Structure 1
Amino acid sequence: MSIVSAISFVVFIFLGLGLTIFFAKKKKGSLTVSGFFLANRSNGFILIGASLYLSNLSANQLIGENESVYINNMSVIGWGISSVFAMLVVAEYIVPIYLKSGINTIPDFLEKRYDSSTKNLVSLVFLFGYLFNLLPTTLYGGAIALDSLFDVSNFLEINHWQSIWLLIWIIGLFGAIFTILGGFKAITISDTVLSIGLLILIIAIPYFGLKHLGNNSLYDGLKTVLTHKKHHLNAIGGPNDAVPFATLFTGMILANLYYWGMEQYIVQQIIAGKSLAESQKGIALACFLKLLSPLLINIPGLIAINAILDLPSTATVFPALAKEVLPATMIGLTTAVLLGAAINSFNVGLNGASSLFIFNIYKPIFAKNHGHEASDNRMIRTGKLFQIGISLFAMTIAPFIIYSEKGFYFYIQQISGIFSIPIFTIIFLGFFRTRIPPIAAKVGIVFYIICYSLTQFVFPIQLHFLHIMAILFVVTAMLMFAIGHFYPMNQHFKLTLENKVATVPWSNRWWYYALLLVLMLAVFWIFSPLGVA
């Protein structure tokens, strides 16, 4: 990295940090548990939308999806673009239930629907998912990106393994300090500030990349992408592609519904809204940003196919292209955004994990042992100590992801399947089948986790893991139905209304929902044999 790039990186980092501190101070009030973990349920739709988008758009995606496009094709956009449908379903049917019930965490809803032991079991599943998947992969993806842009290995004269360790600990320490000192409100504000940098890159990287490819002609660069190696342009994946098109209608839709409607650190940002209408607007804004995402997480991979033929590793596609085509100041901005995205994703995961621990494990145990609830100060202090502990754990195991046999991005998606679908199954059935008993939920979780783990790690089945997720969802649901038939609850479950914010829906939402769905279909049409492919 040149001196100019390094200086611009430092300037952008301090500018982003300064804006975050400025706006955080304006919002500052007395520190409570609700304020530390849920921003006092006072966020407007811009904060919600930006925070949802930034929590989802991590360095993992910038690295993993561009790599997938480079070595395969555009089928990987199925993860992000098809999620628009799932997000709108969540906004319309699931978020109102959460806000009307006044929950703090997803397991809170499961306690209302089933019982406290189901809540505890799911809390543990969530925490294991954060400890072994979300937090380590976020750190690892950020380290890979920064090592490529900064060329840390050569600069410090250390090997790649050592540089990854160093960068993981730098990202982890900065993220932990920021989360512990600032809480959830600071995280959402920093997400909004970071979104400005991302929007600049969404325009800048394709622009400079195409000009570079076309020898300073934007038109010639675009023509090259559209006429050379056209099979990479296809988003309608076949059986052997990264995301076969059929999986969009099986495991993909389940994974997306879970992620946007039941993943704790995502839901936490939605229920932090000041009203149902603001939460629904925030989700719609996040949908629009998701539709712009291919410009940053996929199109650079397409450009790199024609512009960069020699790479030390395909995982370096995005940072290598940025170094090749961007002006020095823009390289500094790119590096700052990548670092910010890695830290913010890590922060959100930390806050989500500590929320689960405090609300669902520590608080009930403390009350049981002491006969009264813990004070806000005690819970915040314990939550911060927990964040320190899981940060150190994640920073320790993250470097070992380098030994994943099937690649970084595949590791993320495959491992998440262990934790996501069983939770989705019991929550989804809990919404609509009101007499399924608690024992069915517990059996369903254990049954799914065992079966999925066997198919992925013990007796590998020659079927895409997303299809396996869908099959096991159906089998698990049938098992729960059977238990509910023979051992039903004595009474139908009825949701108790304990809303803490206004639950009147957004009046104009249907027009925006329709537009977003049309745009979603248009993206698939463009990158298909009927379009540019």
Structure 2
Amino acid sequence: MPEIPLDFWDYVIFASFFLMLGGVGYWAGRGEQASSQDYFLAGRKLPWYVVGGSFIASNISSEHFIGMIGSAVVFGVCVSLMEWANVVTFSLLIWLFIPFLLSSRVFTIPEFLEKRFSLAVRQCFAVVTVLSNVVAFLATVLYGGGLALQSMFGWSLWFSIIALGIVAGVWAIYGGLSSVAWTDLLTVVVMIAGGVLVSVLGLQALAGEDGNLLDGFRVMIERNQATSGPWAEAVAQQREHLTDQETYNRLSLFQSPTHAITPAISLIPLILSVSIWYNVLNQFMIQRVLGAKDAYHARMGIVLAGWVKVFFPLISVLPGMVLFALHPEIMLRPWDEVKPAADQGYVSLIQSLVPIGLRGLLLAALFGAIQSTINSVLNSTSTILTLDIYRRLLVPSASDRHLVRVGVITSTVVLIIAIVLGGFVGELGGSLFEYAQSLYAFFAPPFAALFLLGIGWRRINSAGALATIVTGFALGIGLKLYLSVSPEAPAWLFPFWNQAALNWIVCIVVCIAVSLATPPPRAEQVTEQLTFHWSKLALSEGLGTHWYGSVVTWWGLFVVAMLILFVTFSGIVF
């Protein structure tokens, strides 16, 4: 990546951010090692704005600021679909999953799966979660952040990754979820401020000295339509890598079935697989919901997170489209050079657009995103290793203080492993964002299938769940091997969205077939805390007392805003 010149005030801003982060982390983590509930679930006392802020901060990391912006340079606005499609999952969270999971009073999702299915299902999910946390999240985030540190200070990549891991992981180890959640709230404010600054400066650069932001937006839209000049030439040169159609619309969310990252044909199965797994079953995301004060704070937190998702492409996708408008020559390179060059987009924009003195804020935003994800993943991985593996299998009688000590140790060990793996992510090549997304598409389908069927249909049993896990991962590995040795395979099978959709559908069929062919679950496995009993589900509780603070009001506006965006970028308007 290009080096970023910094001056005294950049260092002051950057250092001030980390000092503030340290102060918040220390304040929030005081006394949190007193009990396992305090350490792993923040004593179930997080307010809605912390739940929502932490939920978003945990989700945003280097693959967004670096990888997602890079993908937007190449593919255009369709990358936003990965953010905006969350309207479905967030709505399910607000109206179904939150009241359901809070009533179960569990610490972890694996704990819930044992109650609903069996110990074997719990341990399978726990092990896979730990693996995915380390490989798909921590290693990716550390690598992306290491690249940015390398460009800032000229450090070696390995030293950058090690330094970042130590600095970012300290608060998760010290104060548990409480430190993580409150530092996340500060981080998300800085991330949004820094991201908006890049977008504003980018649009101003397109508008010229005499133009305004609206003029810059018009120029950005016009050039991304790619109807003339080097922009049309860039899209034409790479068309075979972008679409199987005669033309490619960079301003449409909905792309062809063979699109590399967002084939629209797989959108619904993807929401019910990857999105459910990521936002509901993923411990490092759902943990702050389980730590909320009550149902209202949990629900309102997700509503807040939803509103951030509405606007988030302004700082994760729009800069990539601005960069394409400014430098279409990125897409005129040979294809194997396009994605690595595009991944340098965020740092390039900082270097070319942001004046010295303000670059420290942008770098604080990037590293805030990185440290928040590292903290959250470390805390959740430690929770699962401690409660679902160590206590459940090795020391059932362990005291609270003993469990907290084990949590501290496991956090440290996991961080060391992730640092080592992070140094090798770059050897895999390709886009950082696509690497992360392809791993999500591999891990998600079997567990999303058995979870959705398990809570919705009391006939689903442990045998069906185990068969689904084995089938899902066998099929996922089989597809990867088949595509690696069969270049003549159907083009629609190469996009990882399509692989996830196919895998999820097969898992649904297997789970139902095996469950029906084997004895039904025991009565204690299908209680109202473990399966949906619609008449007893507290759907109307925790909605707020006044219309202006009501979950219903703000959720309804959130859905309307998302629908407007879907229509605007459906290929009809542009």
Q: TM-score, normalised by structure 2?
A: 0.85
Identity %: 22
Q: Hey, what does 2:146 align to over in structure 1?
A: 143
Which of residues 518, 527, 530 is equivalent to 1:487?
Answer: 518
Distance 1:166 1:309, change over 3 A: farther
Q: 1:259 to 1:8 in 2, by over 3 A?
A: same
TM superposition shift of 1:441: 1.0
Partner of 1:159: none
- Amino acid in structure 1 at the alignment position of 2:132: G
- Mapped to 2, the partners of 1:306 and 1:354 lie a distance apart of 44
Q: Pick from 253, 256, 271 the counterpart of residue 238 of structure 1.
A: 256
Q: Residue in 2 aligned with 1:287?
A: 306
Root-mean-square deviation (Å)? 2.1
Structure 1: gaps (5+ residues): 157-162
Counterpart for residue 13 of structure 1? 18
- Give the aligned partner of residue 133 of structure 1: 136
Partner of 2:114: 111
Bigger CA drift: 202-211 or 333-342?
202-211
2:278 is aligned with 1:259: yes
Q: Which moved more, 1:333-342 or 1:227-236?
A: 227-236
Answer with 139-148 or 342-351: which moved more: 139-148
Q: Give unpaired runs (5+ residues) of structure 2.
A: 226-248, 331-339, 531-537, 545-549
Q: CA deviation at 1:389?
A: 1.0
Q: Give how far 1:490 is off.
A: 5.3
The aligned amino acid for 2:262 is V
Task: Give SS of 2:423's match.
Answer: helix
Written as runs of structure 1 = structure 2, the 5 A alignment for 1:115-514 is: 115-148=118-151, 150=152, 152-153=153-154, 163-216=156-209, 217-218=211-212, 219-230=214-225, 231-241=249-259, 242-308=261-327, 313-367=341-395, 373-460=397-484, 461=489, 462=491, 463=493, 464-489=495-520, 491-492=522-523, 493-495=525-527, 497=529, 504-507=541-544, 508-514=550-556
More off after superposition, 279-288 vs 52-61: 52-61
Q: CA deviation at 1:98?
A: 1.0
Give me the whole-angstrom Cα distance separating, in 2, the residues matched to 1:61 and 1:359. 31
What residue identity is the alignment partner of 1:223?
A: R
Contact kept in structure 2, 1:233 and 1:302, CA below 8 Å = no
Number of equivalent positions: 513
Alignment partners' CA distance in 2, 1:490 and 1:9: 55
Distance apart, 1:497 and its partner CA: 4.9
Whole-angstrom CA distance in 2 between matches of 1:223 and 1:194: 31
Task: Report the CA distance shift for 1:57/1:223 in structure 2 as closer, same or farther (over 3 A).
Answer: same
CA distance 1:213–1:273, shift in 2 (3 Å): same
Question: What is the deviation of 1:408?
Answer: 1.7
- Determine the C-alpha separation between the residues in 1 that align with 2:269 and 2:468: 19
1:29, CA displacement in angstroms? 5.8
Residue 530 (structure 1) aligned with residue 554 (structure 2): no
TM-score by length of 1: 0.91
CA contact (8 A) 2:80 2:253 kept: yes
What's the CA shift string for 1:231-276, capped at 9, x where partnerless? Answer: 4333222334331222222324421122111111111111100101
State the 1:66 CA deviation: 0.8
Contact 1:60 1:142 in 2 (8 A): no
Instruction: Say if 1:137 and 1:412, in contact at 8 Å, map to a contact too.
Output: yes
Deviates more, 1:317-326 or 1:242-251: 242-251
Larger CA deviation: 10-19 vs 173-182: 10-19
Give 1:169 shift.
Answer: 0.9
Residues 434-466 of structure 1 show CA distances to partners (whole Å, capped at 9, x for unaligned) of: 122212211110111011111024445531222
Distance in 2 separating the partners of 1:416 and 1:173? 25
SS at match of 1:328: coil
* Secondary structure of the corresponding residue to residue 329 of structure 1: coil
- Displacement of 1:517 in angstroms is 1.3
CA shift, 1:309, in A, is 5.2
Give secondary structure in 1 for the equivalent of 2:358. Answer: helix
Contact (CA 8 Å) 1:38, 1:269: kept in 2 or not?
Answer: yes
2:41 corresponds to which residue?
38
Indicate whether 1:102 and 2:105 are aligned.
yes
Checking the alignment, whether the CA contact within 8 Å between 2:24 and 2:179 is kept in structure 1 is no
